[in-house]
Amino acid sequence: MTQIIIQGMLLSGLYALIAIGFTLIFSVGRVLNLAYGAYLMIGGYVYFYISQQLGLPKGIGLILAAAVGCLAGLLKYRFIAKPLKGNHVAIEIATLILAIVIQSAIILVFGESTKILHSLVPGIVRLEGVTAPWSNILATGLSWVLIIAVFIFVRQSHTGRAMLAVSQDPKGAAICGINGEWINMVTWGISGLLGGVAGVFFASYTQLSPFMWVGPLIVTVAIVIVGGIGSIIGTLIVAHIIGFLEVIVVSYIAPELRGIFTMLLIILFLIFRPRGLFGREELA
């Protein structure tokens, strides 16, 4: 049981961070950014290049991963989401294609083979026979710090409240003088930033690969659909449901079925509760 709790908490924290950025964009921009997984890949590879290939301090690698993720988000908004505004299907197709292009670029520069990131911090801790690297604990802890920061930002800051307003009623927000385009751009930038950082944590927890964007994207879609699109709280809760579900399936049922239950969950919710557990389309 201790193993399930520790491994479930570590994995779920990462999933929650990954999913928050995705849910922000859907709530404010009303589009599924299928290139979201590519933010993770970009963040992970930037960190790898800076801290492992150039040998610069890990903190600089993390900051640059966040910055490049943010920049990628802003560029995606400017050159894809904004010109295709209103055509959600076109945005989804374009972002999916972009993810594949980024994957090919990564292969060209770094090759196809898996790379392993050095631990963020060295050492392990053993608790009742369960081992957890300090690096994973730190990654999960920092994920929570970021999640809470996003939550406070959305609820307390002027820009955050403007994001809430745009997500609830874009036209009403515009009438009140909120610049919807600016808010959208900020949201895409924050989403990219969160994705870039999540990529470093996720790659540090698992590994870096040009194909690493697919798995987290599926998990993210599952979390957002089951949680209820637009619900930050729902996202956090369902990230934990899915994280724990995966660990329990591996430990007690059959490891090869790990991802199947997540898929089944998506189908079940789409059929029986399309609004999700905490369903609403605006940010909350």
Partner 1 sequence: MTIKSWLKPVVSGVAISAISMASLAAEPIKVGFIGSMSSDSGLSGLRAAEIAIDEINNTGGVNGQQVELVTADTREDPTEGIKAYEFLAESAEVDFIVSSSIDDVSLAWMPRFLEYQIPTLDTWASYVGIIDMVKDDPEGMKNYFMNVASDEALATLYINFGADVLKAKMGFESVVILAEDTAFGEAITGLVTEALAPVAGIEVKEVIKYDITTNDFAPLFSKAEQSGADFIYQISTVNAAGLSAQYVKLQVPLAMTGVNVAALGHEYWTDTGGAGAGISTLSPIPAVGLDLDPVSAEFVATYQSRYTSRPVMPHFNGFNVYHGLKQALAAAGEVGGFGDGWSAAMEKQDLKLMKDGELWLRYGWWQHDEIEPVTGRTYPHNIRFDLSEPFDDGAPSMVVVQWHEDGKPYVVYPEKYANGEFVLPSWVPAK
Residues found near partner 1 in the complex (CB under 8 A): 3, 7, 10-11, 52, 107, 111-119, 124, 129-133, 135, 205-207, 209, 212, 215, 246-247, 250-251, 254-259
Q: Which is nearer to partner 1, 95 or 262 (CB)?
A: 262
3-state secondary structure labels for all residues of 161-213: HHHHHHHHCHHHHHHCCCCHHHHHHHHHHHHHHHHHHHHHHHHHHCCECCCCC
Q: Compute the least distance from the CB of residue 215 to partner 1, in Å.
A: 6
Q: Which is nearer to partner 1, 71 or 130 (CB)?
A: 130
Q: Are 29 and 81 in contact (CB under 8 A)?
A: yes
Compute the C-alpha angle 210/214/219, nearest 5°: 140
Q: Compute the least distance from the CB of residue 199 to partner 1, in Å.
A: 13
Q: Compute the least distance from the CB of residue 50 to partner 1, in Å.
A: 14
What whole-number distance in Å separates Cα of residue 180 and Cα of residue 202?
32
Q: Compute the least distance from the CB of residue 200 to partner 1, in Å.
A: 13
What whole-number distance in Å separates Cα of residue 262 and Cα of residue 218?
9
Q: Are 90 and 34 in contact (CB under 8 A)?
A: no
Q: Which is nearer to partner 1, 120 or 283 (CB)?
A: 120
Q: Which is nearer to partner 1, 246 or 282 (CB)?
A: 246
Query: Cα-flanking dihedrals φ and ψ of residue 179, to 5°?
Result: -80, 100
Residue 115 gets which letter from DSSP? B
Residue 93 gets which letter from DSSP? H
Two tokens, residue 123: 């050492």
Q: Which is nearer to partner 1, 161 or 258 (CB)?
A: 258
112 burial level (CB within 10 Å; 0-12, 13-18, 19+) = exposed
Q: Which is nearer to partner 1, 135 or 167 (CB)?
A: 135
What whole-number distance in Å separates Cα of residue 197 and Cα of residue 208?
13
Q: Compute the least distance from the CB of residue 52 to partner 1, in Å.
A: 6
Q: Compute the least distance from the CB of residue 16 to partner 1, in Å.
A: 15
Q: Compute the least distance from the CB of residue 195 to partner 1, in Å.
A: 17
Q: Compute the least distance from the CB of residue 197 to partner 1, in Å.
A: 18
The CA-to-CA distance between both ends of the chain, in Å, stands at 33
Q: Which is nearer to partner 1, 3 or 159 (CB)?
A: 3
Q: Which is nearer to partner 1, 119 or 168 (CB)?
A: 119
Q: Are 234 and 10 in contact (CB under 8 A)?
A: no
- For residue 66, the SS3 value is helix
Q: Are 177 and 8 in contact (CB under 8 A)?
A: no
